[in-house]
């Protein structure tokens, strides 16, 4: 199960009620609404690795569309970054169910705020913008890049699920 930890503004916009059960770490993502050129976008940041995604074209109350766009964008981005397809598929098996929760990490919210400050729209493809933000070194990750931290965590997750 993947947990989307939404800010109050996003919970209100999506007309969602938070659940009590929630995943932690690699399967937990913080989500917030940001604006770029007066267009609403949803910024998602992984709790453990600070990997970020941007979703466009999701309107108020379209929670199902948000979930399907999240899975599709994450798959496309990770495969574009040459991550092993088996590891990506194994991770996304958990994306069949979602739980909604309130935010619980000021550190992740601070990272989201920082990402939104450096938001630009001069990229040819939306995945290029995601790649730009995930190649920036982050202090909470011991000065690692989010994509590299996610790749390591994905590999450890795959190894743990394989039993060895």
CATH number, domain with residue 41: 3.30.420
Q: What is the DSSP string of the chain?
A: -EEEEE-HHHHHHHT----S----GGGEEEEEEEEETTEEEEEEEETTT--EEEEES--TT-HHHHHHHHHHHHHHHHHHTT--HHHHHHHHGGGGSEEEEE---HHHHHHHHHHHHT-----SSHHHHHHHHHTS-BGGGTSB-HHHHHHHHHHHHHHHHHT-
Question: In the prediction, which pLDDT does 121 show?
Answer: 67
pLDDT (mean) for 16-24: 82
pTM of the predicted structure, to 2 decimals: 0.91
pLDDT digits (tens, 9 = 90+) for 133-143: 888 888 777 88
Question: In the prediction, which pLDDT does 12 show?
Answer: 95
Question: In the prediction, which pLDDT does 38 show?
Answer: 82
**Total of domains in the chain:** 1
Instruction: Say if residue 164's pLDDT is above 60.
Output: no
**Residue with tokens 């958990």, as numbered in its chain:** 94
pLDDT digits (tens, 9 = 90+) for 83-140: 999 999 999 998 889 999 999 999 999 999 998 887 766 777 778 888 888 888 887 7
- Which residue(s) pair with 37 in the sheet? none
Instruction: Say if residue 7's pLDDT is above 90.
Output: yes
The mean pLDDT value of the chain amounts to: 90
Would you place residue 146 in the very low, low, confident or very high pLDDT band (cuts 50, 70, 90)? very high
Range(s) of the domain holding residue 32: 2-162
């Amino acid at each position: 199960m993947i947990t989307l930890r939404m800010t109050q503004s996003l919970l209100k916009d999506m007309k969602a009620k938070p659940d009590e059960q929630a995943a932690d770490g690699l399967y937990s993502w913080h989500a917030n609404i940001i604006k770029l050129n007066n267009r609403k976008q949803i910024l998602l940041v992984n709790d453990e690795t600070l990997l970020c995604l941007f979703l466009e074209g999701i309107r108020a109350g379209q929670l199902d569309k948000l979930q399907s766009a999240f899975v599709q964008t994450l798959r496309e981005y990770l495969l574009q970054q040459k991550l092993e397809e088996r590891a990506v598929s194994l991770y996304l098996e958990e994306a069949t169910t979602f739980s909604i929760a309130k935010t619980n990490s000021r550190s992740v919210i601070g990272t989201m705020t920082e990402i939104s400050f450096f938001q630009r729209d001069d990229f040819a493809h939306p995945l290029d913008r995601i790649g730009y933000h995930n190649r920036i070194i982050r202090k909470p990750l011991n000065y690692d890049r989010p994509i590299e931290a996610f790749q390591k965590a994905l590999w450890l997750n795959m190894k743990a699920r394989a039993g060895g």
